[in-house]
Amino acid sequence: MTILGPLLIAGIIILPTYLAMQGHDERIIALYEENTFFSSKLEDTDNLHFVKIPFEEVNIIKEDFSASSYYALLDIKDAENFALYSNQQVSLSVQSEIEGKLSDILQREELKLAGIDLQILEGVTTQIEVKTIIIGEEGETTGNAEVSFGIGFMCGILIYMFIFMYGTMVMRGVIEEKTSRIVEVIISSVKPFQLMMGKILGVALVGLTQFMLWIILTIIISSFAEVLFFDMSAIAAENSEMGQEQSVIVSELLKSLAGINIAQLLISFVFYFLGGYLLYSALFAAVGSAVDAEADTQQFILPITIPLILSFILMQPVMNNPDGVLAYWLSLIPFTSPIIMMVRLPFGVSNAELILSMALLVVGFLATTSLAAKIYRTGILMYGKKASYKELWKWLTFKG
């Protein structure tokens, strides 16, 4: 799954794009119009080639479409009656392209009739771009709110996914050891706390390794894909406006990425990933030790993951208001800080706040670990008792 994961994701993204790009054959559309109102203005596009035909040919084509070399027949009766004939369902893209072109033509004519000069019209629609500049200690660096948004969002999602994935892995391991009864054998050799921590740290290492592999594989695959696409789109890009716009966007992107402190982001990501994982996996381990089967875990999983789910839902409001009260508190409370602080970071957080948040997270996972250890050491040898919260509370107060 470690290797397969990135390959699958890459495949899901690359393959359809690749196939979509392949699928653009040119289609020949027969065009018939009694007058020349539209047909004189209808221009070929990348995919559509219009061929005007005389009236006699219309019925010939309609009778035997496959004999003709046309994809479809566009019959324009007047400004409100258009029909597209074909012996098969015309594709959506062709239909909408034709509709678009026809309505464009109509619109320009109506504007002309209203007395508006088309030249002026073109000059009016412009793209405005406001440059965001962050005033920092080292001077001004270009900011980019969209990029910050994207990165924050990505980080938040990744941490959310990982905590859930690896936390439940720990829980399942605990349950397996309980049901196979090997836990009693192991506990005669090591202390319950050692077993619990060993499992948590082991899964953490699995998680980090998988994560590293994913990053490496994604980099490899995306560079492959870049090369692949670069060849195909290079030709198109040279000739189109789009290509030029794209290269401008890319260079802006790179400039603003430099504005975000990559080192700080990376280190914080690893820290919050580990810290959040340690905090939640201890709770997952405790849940696993309290039940006899995975089916019974439902009643416990929801309460302990509510803060996590909450922070996921609140990612958007926080990103819209990264310095607000909500964002401030959520990035400090250890249960929500792994996600919320990561979301805030690209927008800039003071070092003091960051350090405070990290310290609180450490306190957080130390607390949940010691709480979990108490529940774990009693729960793993307890079978058959339906664990309720009252029961768990009793276990917390049992002596070793």
Partner 1 sequence: MQKNIFIAKDIVKQYGDYTALNQVNLEIPKGSIFGLLGPNGAGKTTLMRIINQIIAPDSGTLIFDSKPLKRADIAQIGYLPEERGLYKKMKVGEQTLYLAKLKGMPHNEALEKLKFWFKKLDILHWWNKKVEELSKGMAQKIQFVATVIHQPKLLIFDEPFSGFDPINAAIIRDEILELKKGGTTIIFSTHRMESVEEICDNIALINNGETILEGAIKKIKNNFRNNIFSVKLNTENLTLPEQFQIISNTDNNYQIQISENATSNQLLNALIEKGEILSFQEKIPTMEDIFIKAVKDE
Contacts with partner 1, residue ranges (CB under 8 A):
176-177, 180-191, 381, 394, 398-400
> For partner 1, which is the closer residue by CB, 115 or 400?
400
Closest distance to partner 1 from the beta carbon of 164 (Å) = 23
Closest distance to partner 1 from the beta carbon of 162 (Å) = 24
Closest distance to partner 1 from the beta carbon of 224 (Å) = 35
Find residue 52's DSSP bridge partners.
31
Phi, psi of 384 (to 5 degrees): 85, -25
> For partner 1, which is the closer residue by CB, 33 or 177?
177
Contact indicator for 88, 61 with CB cutoff of 8 Å: no
Closest distance to partner 1 from the beta carbon of 385 (Å) = 11
Beta-carbon contacts of 289 under 8 Å, excluding residues fewer than 6 positions away, are 174, 178, 196, 375, 376, 378, 379, 380
> For partner 1, which is the closer residue by CB, 195 or 282?
195
Closest distance to partner 1 from the beta carbon of 189 (Å) = 4
> For partner 1, which is the closer residue by CB, 88 or 180?
180
Closest distance to partner 1 from the beta carbon of 181 (Å) = 3
d(CA 129, CA 146): 12
Letter for the amino acid at 140? E
> For partner 1, which is the closer residue by CB, 184 or 226?
184
d(CA 210, CA 202): 12
Closest distance to partner 1 from the beta carbon of 384 (Å) = 12
Closest distance to partner 1 from the beta carbon of 127 (Å) = 59
Q: The tokens of 76 are what? A: 């324009």
**Tell me, what DSSP letter sits at residue 334?**
T
Closest distance to partner 1 from the beta carbon of 212 (Å) = 25
- DSSP, residue by residue, 30-83: EEEESSSTTTTT----SSEEEEE--HHHHHHHHH-TTTSS-SEEEEEEETTEEE
> For partner 1, which is the closer residue by CB, 123 or 384?
384
**Strands (DSSP E) along 90-168, which ranges?**
132-136, 139-143
Residue 72 falls in which region: left (phi positive, over 0), alpha (psi -120 to 50) or beta: beta
**Strands (DSSP E) along the chain, which ranges?**
27-33, 48-52, 72-78, 81-85, 132-136, 139-143
Closest distance to partner 1 from the beta carbon of 188 (Å) = 4
> For partner 1, which is the closer residue by CB, 98 or 183?
183
Closest distance to partner 1 from the beta carbon of 199 (Å) = 12
Q: Give, in order, the Cα–Cα distances in Å from 120 to each of 106, 108, 111, 128, 275.
A: 18, 12, 11, 18, 59
> For partner 1, which is the closer residue by CB, 73 or 291?
291
d(CA 327, CA 344): 8
> For partner 1, which is the closer residue by CB, 180 or 239?
180
**Directed axis angle between helix 262-290 and helix 337-344, to 10°?**
170
> For partner 1, which is the closer residue by CB, 187 or 257?
187
Nearest in space to 380 (alpha carbons), one of 203, 202, 204, 193: 193
> For partner 1, which is the closer residue by CB, 52 or 181?
181
Q: Give, in order, the Cα–Cα distances in Å from 319 to each of 159, 307, 361.
A: 16, 18, 21
